[in-house]
Structure 1
Amino acid sequence: MQLYLMGLWETVRDFIGTGGDVLYLVFFALLIMWIVMIERAWYLFGVFPQERKRILESWNTRKDTTSWYAHRIREAWISEASEKLSARMLVLKTMIAICPLIGLLGTVTGMIAVFEIMAVQGTGNPRLMAGGISMATIPTMAGMVAALSGMFFAQRLDARIKAAKEQLIDSMPHH
């Protein structure tokens, strides 16, 4: 196991060495994105069902569910639950959008490295230029892969959150 982890670490280190330091930024954005996504899934599937149950019990034990005042209370409870469900989804979507942009930053820095090599060495050393071109393309690829890894799950999470809001609204009749 330790040998496997050391091999994995070497692979990651080589990848970052080839792609440049911008990959640390991609990794950091990816880490934040997945932490937020896991937290949102935990809330949706672990915490919200108890919250929903509490709201429904409070609504069903009310004697008055038809007056103007009761409608305002219902709206407030739904709004509060909706706000808690949607919390940090903007951060998640922002992280997904930022990942490719960080990758493009890596492309720019890699191309600058290629141009510096060309200015110093000329175009006679293709091996050095290839290293700069790798540094230009790998961060873009990493940023795109990072964004794609989160896009699918974020869309599914968003759809589940909308469905949970609708179910809560539907289960609180307001005669």
Structure 2
Amino acid sequence: MLFLIEQWESVRDFIAAGGDVLYVVAAALFLMWAFMIERFWYLASVFPKLRDEIISNWDAREDTTSWYAHRIRDTWISQASDGLGTRMLLIKTLVAMCPLIGLLGTVTGMIGVFETMATQGTSNPRLMAAGISMATIPTMAGMVAALSGVFFSSRLEAKVKIAREKLVDALPHH
């Protein structure tokens, strides 16, 4: 329990040093990871059942060669692709937004530095250092958040593409 309290204090100190923009970075990071975990879960548990159902429906059809049969096949593939691609654009958007949110923190931190310089003068380096720290920490946090999402979102995209291609290959058209 003491370990958790120490960790919470570290997080609280980090947010205090970086400013309120870190809450926005944390919210974007949480949403991004929640959506990615949901997509990985969908690929691992929901989609295989849907794929098997589509394949069994296709195999049960007597007519698999007519124009109508191919349109039905295309429709099933399209519906499965829509399910696979759900939230992928949102995930990529959140990945791209994290560094921008960090830059917002940089701008607000620099505004704080300039306010300090205007009111206290440039002779107090400690006050300026606190503002510069507040300006750089959100940028770093936004970049780390984005980097954590780039690798896993590209891996997720590859898995989605492979799952779609395997479904197309499993529904032969004669």
For the criterion TM > 0.5, the same-fold answer is: yes
Instruction: Give CA deviations for 1:15-46 in whole Å, capped at 9, x if unaligned.
Output: 00000000000000000000000000000111
d(CA) in 1 for partners of 2:144, 2:45: 29
Matched, 1:76 2:100: no
Q: Distance in 2 between matches of 1:16 and 1:131?
A: 13
Question: Which amino acid in structure 2 is aligned with residue 174 of structure 1?
Answer: H
Moved over 4 A (4+): none
Superposition deviation, residue 151 in structure 1 = 0.4
3-state SS, counterpart of residue 66 of structure 1: coil
Superposed CA deviations along residues 40-78 of structure 1, whole A, max 9, x for unmatched, are 000011110011000000000000000011000000000
Residue correspondence of structure 1 range 102-141 to structure 2 within 5 A: 102-141=101-140
Cα offset for 1:97?
0.4
Structure 1 CA distance for aligned equivalents of residues 10 and 45 of structure 2: 36
* 2:94 match: 95
Task: Please give the alpha-carbon distance, in whole angstroms, between the structure 1 residues aligned to 2:77 and 2:60.
Answer: 16
CA displacement at 1:172 relative to structure 2: 0.3
Q: Name the count of aligned residue pairs.
A: 174
1:66 corresponds to which residue? 65
3-state SS of paired residue (1:151): helix
Q: Which residue matches 2:171?
A: 172
1:56-108 Cα offsets, whole Å, 9 max, x none, are 00000000000011000000000000000000000000000000000000000
C-alpha deviation, 1:118, in angstroms: 0.3
Which consecutive residues of structure 1, in runs of 5 or more, have no partner in the other structure?
A: none
Instruction: Give me the TM-score of the superposition, normalised by structure 1.
Output: 0.99
State the 1:139 CA deviation. 0.2
- Note the 1:45-64 alignment, pairs <5 A: 45-64=44-63
Q: CA RMSD in A?
A: 0.4
How many percent of aligned residue pairs carry the same amino acid? 67
Deviation (angstroms), 1:5:
0.6
Residue 171 of structure 1: CA displacement?
A: 0.7
